[in-house]
Amino acid sequence: MKSSGKLIFLIIPFCFIPFSNLISSDVEFHFHPNEFSLGEYAKLEVRAHGEKPFRTIQTNIKQNGVRVRFVGSGTETQIINFKVSRSQILNFYVDTESEGIFKLPEVTVEYDNKTYTSPATQFKVSKRSKHSQNQFFNPFPIEIDEEPTDESPEVFFHTNKSVFYKGEPIVGYYVLYYNGYRQPFLERDPNQSISFPYFLSETLRQVSVQIEPEVVRNNVMKKTLVYDKEIYGLTAIKSGKFQIGKTKFISGDSLRFNSLQETVNTTPATVTVLDLPPNNSKEFTGAIGNFKLNLTNFPKEIHLGETAYFEITIEGEGGHEGITPLKQLDSKVQLISQTRNKTFRKLDSGEYGFYSVVKFLYGYQIGSTDKVTLDPYLFRFFSLQENQYKTIAIKFPDLPVLPEIKRNSQDSTMNRKSQTLPSISLLVLLAVLGVLSYVGYKRYTFRKQTLKLIKMMQSFGKKRNFFLADYLEKKEISKEDIQFIVTLLGNFDLETLEKSFQNLSKQEKSRAVIIAKQLETKE
């Protein structure tokens, strides 16, 4: 398993020693770091993809001042959108007895009855730090390593491929390995950027990653948590060997009150980016995957003076980064627009990966009555399935050119009239809508005011005449307003109130509503 980082693109080259030969895709050797202090150790991780028998030939190697110790094995399972892949891992510690530049001894493993040997790798050991991890010649073996405790959390960056071509998109993600948390939380440190040297990165929204809930790491069973907030699509723009995904995370236990938050340095993924095989064709622009061509909206005939439009669609498995408009079309053909779309989905092969659709809209200005004949549209890409370059083409049909359409003055007059008719109809429609809106608003306002008066009358109960006047006087309503309300209500009940209110003048309606609002505030 491997992984990636965020939309922050940093050009930070790492000084890695490249493998002397291409490692088999079945077994991979990963050595890190390539520089450490005397008394500390580096790790050699040997990973086999599959479930066939896998074992180490040597458990202890000491050569030219370098010691390699086998410290345990484990397995990992990754599920990316339900595609399952399993790996077996052999772990070794590497340390030295002095400082300097050393060569890693050959480590031999056996997978499926075949032997694999680690490539030639150099590393540097500097002066002893104040807090070294171990002491090489400590006579007490129980104190040889001061390794992290079982409770220490670890965050690793994983990718779905560790050896791939430049321009080939991969998926990357982070995993927390922990013990001691009842309900872990994991957040990326916002003050830290993510290192993706020589990679284009994007955040994927439609990808789910699952791994085994518990895995064995360095002979210790640990629980796992995938950081699914940030899953990345990565595309290498340079060949070589890189470490990607280096950053910091903050972890802790969300169920433990006042638990301490820990800052965890991530262990980056080590990947090898290969150059594509040599290619001499001018049509190749860097597209990697498996694609097909389609021609749409090509006209059957056209008149002189018009522009013929047609669309070329390139779609298939892979990224769209290397797909560009063809430059070898007729000089009269102009690119009008282009659209690009890339998704991560289930492919025709049953696996999950990137699927891209790129559309180019072209225009051809017809300047003569000669039949238009265009050269075939060629598209060249590197096929991952066949591991070779492929060229596909579309032949354009012949395009007959008809005489120019002549439009007389009568037609132009009719066109102008037909253009004015819609504008008049639009004005009439807007006027009708305006009247209806005004009538609706007035009815809404009247209904709202009537409900306010009914509510006020309900608050009076059966009080009328003298009793109503006495009630309103206690509410500190003016004598003029009291007389107005007593006269308005009289002996009317609720059913006749609305009709009575409708017969009032505009000024009287406003006065009644104001009094009702005054009584509302005094309730």
Question: What is the DSSP annotation of 96-116?
Answer: ESS-EEEEPPP-EEEETTEEE
318-344 pLDDT, tens per residue? 888 888 887 766 677 888 899 998 887
Q: Mean of the pLDDT values across residues 64-87?
A: 74
In this predicted structure, what is the pLDDT of residue 407? 65
- Say how far apart CA 98 and CA 39 lie, in whole Å: 9
Q: Are residues 365 and 492 in the same domain?
A: no
Question: Which domain-ending residue is among 370, 402, 434?
Answer: 402
Q: What share of the chain in percent tops pLDDT 70?
A: 79
> Is residue 14 in a domain?
no
**Mean pLDDT (whole number) for 161-189:** 89
What pLDDT score does 229 carry?
Answer: 86
Q: Which of 236-245, 412-421, 423-432 has the lowest mean pLDDT?
A: 412-421
Residue ending a domain, among 251, 274, 297, is 274
Task: Write the CB contacts of 332 (distance below 8 Å, at least 6 apart in sequence).
Answer: 364, 365, 367
* 379-418 residue pLDDT tens: 999 998 888 899 999 998 888 888 887 766 555 555 555 5
| Residue 301 forms part of a structural domain | yes
pLDDT tens digits, residue range 307-320?
Answer: 888 899 999 998 88
Query: 100 pairs with which residues across the strands?
Result: 125
Whether 200 and 261 share a structural domain: yes
Same domain, 229 and 93: yes
Whether residue 13 is predicted with pLDDT greater than 50 in this model: the reply is no
Segment holding 78, helix H or strand E:
strand 66-80
- d(Cα 94, Cα 90) in Å, to the nearest integer? 13
Q: Is the peptide bond before 33 cis (omega within 30 degrees of 0)?
A: yes
Query: Distance of CA 416 to CAs 419, 420, 511, Å?
Result: 5, 6, 56
Give the residue with greater pLDDT, 403 vs 132: 403
pLDDT of residue 24: 44
Q: Is residue 137 part of a domain?
A: yes
- Beta strands (DSSP E) in 301-458 are 302-303, 307-318, 333-346, 352-365, 377-383, 388-394, 401-402
Q: Are 303 and 267 in contact (CB under 8 A)?
A: no
Of 245, 248, 249, nearest to 269 (Cα)?
245
Whether 80 and 221 map to the same domain: the answer is yes
Say if residue 263 is in the same domain as residue 310. Answer: no
Instruction: Indicate if 267 and 304 belong to the same structural domain.
Output: no
Residue 173 and residue 61 in one domain: yes
Question: CA separation (Å) from 107 to 22, 51, 63, 90, 99?
Answer: 16, 21, 11, 11, 21
**Phi and psi torsions of 58, nearest 5°:** -120, 145
Q: Per the structure, how many domains does the chain have?
A: 3
Residue 422 above 80 pLDDT?
no
Same domain, 268 and 326: no
Residue 142 DSSP symbol: G
Looking at the fold, whether 197 and 299 belong to one and the same domain comes out as no
Structural domain harbouring 466? 409-522
pLDDT at 17 over 50: no
Which residues make beta-bridge pairs with 382? 288, 389
83 within domain boundaries: yes
pLDDT of 399: 84
Same domain as 303, residue 249: no
Question: What is the pLDDT, as a whole number, of residue 141?
Answer: 38
Q: What is the pLDDT of residue 9?
A: 29
- Statement to judge: residues 184 and 259 lie in one domain: yes
Evaluate whether residue 19 is within a structural domain: no
How much is the average pLDDT of 243-266?
Answer: 82
pLDDT band at 474 (very low <50, low <70, confident <90, very high): confident
| Same-domain status, 244 and 384 | no
Last residue of a domain, one of 256, 274, 292: 274
